[in-house]
Amino acid sequence: MLISIVVPLYNEETNISILHEKVSNVFLNLAHQFELIFINDGSSDNSLNILKSLSDKDSHVKYISFSKNFGKESAMYCGLKHANGDATVIMDSDLQHPPELIPDMINLYQDGYHQVVGIRNRKKESFIKRIPASAFYKLSKYLVEVKFKSGEGDFRLMSQQVVDSILKLTEYNRFSKGLFEWVGFSKTSIQYYHQERNEGKSKYSIFKLIDYGFDGIISFNNKPLRLCFYFGGITMFVCLLYILISFINILMNGIDEPGYFTIISSILFLGGLQLFSLGIIGEYIGRIYFESKDRPKYIIEQSNIFEDQ
């Protein structure tokens, strides 16, 4: 059996060789063949040169190098597109995803599961990442039809069929966590302890993560739009009721209201609600705009495998 390991990387010069060594060691004890596909997502450090020299020494190593930084989602898509394995494992390059888990993943795949998902134990993670993450998963339960589970990341093994299905989802704004879930297929999981990043810093700041979470909610359904509709409806109903009461009051008692507070609060509230709803509609329109451009998700500058963009 051939197992493809897909590794997106961006400025990870210090980690590539260690990861390569660890993965190679894992496969020393396995009867399976493997290919290690590195996707260099426009690194500005020495990553590409390291990849080139690794691939010269070891024929298991393949690399595809982008013309600039297109983001991890694009890199993963490209990696899956070029994976030839019976099963494919996606993992980060910073050693946060332990390669030692791969044999267990393969065993579960051989038991018949199409997806084997690494679930990370968040206990060791920093407070600043854990709290928003758990808030996101709680919120997503109500807002998203696809269920995300806390701790599920991109570290997973997928059968060829799953990979083919993912590749059929060609959208530009990708939220892989949701796409992996959306395609279905039988699924199981393995727990692992999330290691500290080996070298370098995380490429995802807290703001980028919030953005990413927002993407996840918007790109999977139209519930936020529905919410605007409900909010609008409820507000309209309450306002009508208020107008009616005020009108009856005027008929019975004559006009005798200073009214400053009611006017200013309704202007501010309605204005806020309208801007909020417009913002949500804008998010969807923005996505339609990008999808309609139909730009490529990545551009390959060089590679040691064939170019078939």
Residues interacting with Mg ion, by CB under 5 A?
92, 94, 96, 197
Residue 9's binding partner, choosing from ligand UDP, Mg ion, none, with beta-carbon cut-off 5 to 8 A by kind?
Answer: ligand UDP
Contacts of 305 (CB under 8 A, 6+ apart): 62, 64, 82
Which of 10, 70 has the CB closer to Mg ion? 10
Residue range at the interface with ligand UDP (CB under 6 A); choices 7-15, 114-122, 136-144, 294-302: 7-15
- Pair 82, 58: CB distance under 8 Å: no
How many residues sit close enough to ligand UDP to count as binding (CB under 6 A)?
Answer: 17
Which of 206, 245 has the CB closer to ligand UDP? 206
Residue 72's binding partner, choosing from ligand UDP, Mg ion, none, with beta-carbon cut-off 5 to 8 A by kind?
Answer: ligand UDP
Which of 38, 113 has the CB closer to ligand UDP? 38
Q: Which of 55, 65, 88, 93 touches ligand UDP by CB under 6 A?
A: 93
Q: Per CB under 6 A, which of residues 187..226 are in contact with ligand UDP?
A: 197, 202-204
Q: Which of 3, 5, 8, 180 touches ligand UDP by CB under 6 A?
A: 8
The b-or-e profile of 258-267 (16+ CB within 10 A means b, else e) is eeeeeeeeee
Q: How far is the CB of 178 from ligand UDP (least distance, A)?
A: 16
Q: Binding to ligand UDP by residue 229, rule CB under 6 A?
A: no
Q: How far is the CB of 200 from ligand UDP (least distance, A)?
A: 8
Distance CA 107, CA 226 (A): 44
Structure tokens at 136: 């996101």
Q: In whole angstroms, how far apart are CA 77 and each of 117, 118, 122, 127, 171?
A: 17, 19, 26, 30, 10
Q: Which of 27, 55, 71, 105 touches ligand UDP by CB under 6 A?
A: 71
Binding region for ligand UDP (CB under 6 A): 8-10, 12, 41, 69, 71-72, 75, 92-94, 96, 197, 202-204
